[in-house]
Amino acid sequence: MIQPSSLGAADLILAVLLLLSLAAHARSAWIARRARATFEERVLVRTAAVELARSKLQAILDALPSMIGSWNAQGINRFANRAYLAHRGEPAADGFAGRPILEVLGEDLHGRVRPHIEAALRGERRVIASSTIFRKSPRTAPCAAISSR
């Protein structure tokens, strides 16, 4: 072990500076870890709040008798309410999320509504009367095609 009396003044100053540098580095590392933990905690809280809001919105949409569905610009379903799923004969547990519109609507209905979908994607609001067969009987329902830009 080095005895302090055998060190010169310059050596003592370097040793003190090294210890201060190590302490500052350790403090910086602790601050960085704490900041990451705090950020992750905030992300978890906000994620839970978003999920709660999504769940409440889905419950409200499911309570409506109108068919409500949302599709992205690529024609992939983002969500559909219970009435929409029932109308298309889809079990509520399976849903349409992630499925292409052509698969959900079928070629005939998709071909009839496609111009309205394309107009909505251009930013035009369209309301059309959609005629389909529901549980072996014809049904006409207003359908709004609205862009969510």
Looking up residue 106, the CATH number of its domain turns out to be: 3.30.450
Give residues with Cβ within 8 angstroms of 125, minimum separation 6. Answer: 144, 145, 146, 147
Q: What integer pLDDT is reported at residue 107 of this predicted model?
A: 92
Q: What integer pLDDT is reported at residue 148 of this predicted model?
A: 67
Check whether residue 84 and residue 129 sit in a common domain. Answer: yes
pLDDT single digits (tens) 99-123: 999 998 889 888 988 888 888 888 8
Whether residue 1 is contained in a domain is answered as no
| Rounded CA separation 51/69 (Å) | 19
Check whether residue 69 and residue 41 sit in a common domain. Answer: no
Q: What mean pLDDT is reported for the chain?
A: 82
**Number of compact structural domains in the chain:** 2
Check whether residue 47 and residue 76 sit in a common domain. Answer: no
Give residues with Cβ within 8 angstroms of 113, minimum separation 6. Answer: 105, 128, 130, 143, 145
Q: What integer pLDDT is reported at residue 86 of this predicted model?
A: 85
Among 5-19, 54-68, 81-95, whose mean pLDDT is lowest? 5-19
Among 14-23, 33-42, 127-136, whose mean pLDDT is lowest? 127-136
Q: What integer pLDDT is reported at residue 63 of this predicted model?
A: 92
Q: Report which of residues 29 and 138 the model is more confident about.
A: 29
Using a pLDDT cut of 90, give the percent of the chain over it: 13
Please give the residue range of the domain that contains residue 115: 65-145
Indicate whether 65 pLDDT > 80: yes
Q: What is the CA radius of gyration of the chain?
A: 31
Q: What is the pTM of this model?
A: 0.60
Check whether residue 42 and residue 95 sit in a common domain. Answer: no
Cα 62 to chain centroid, rounded = 19
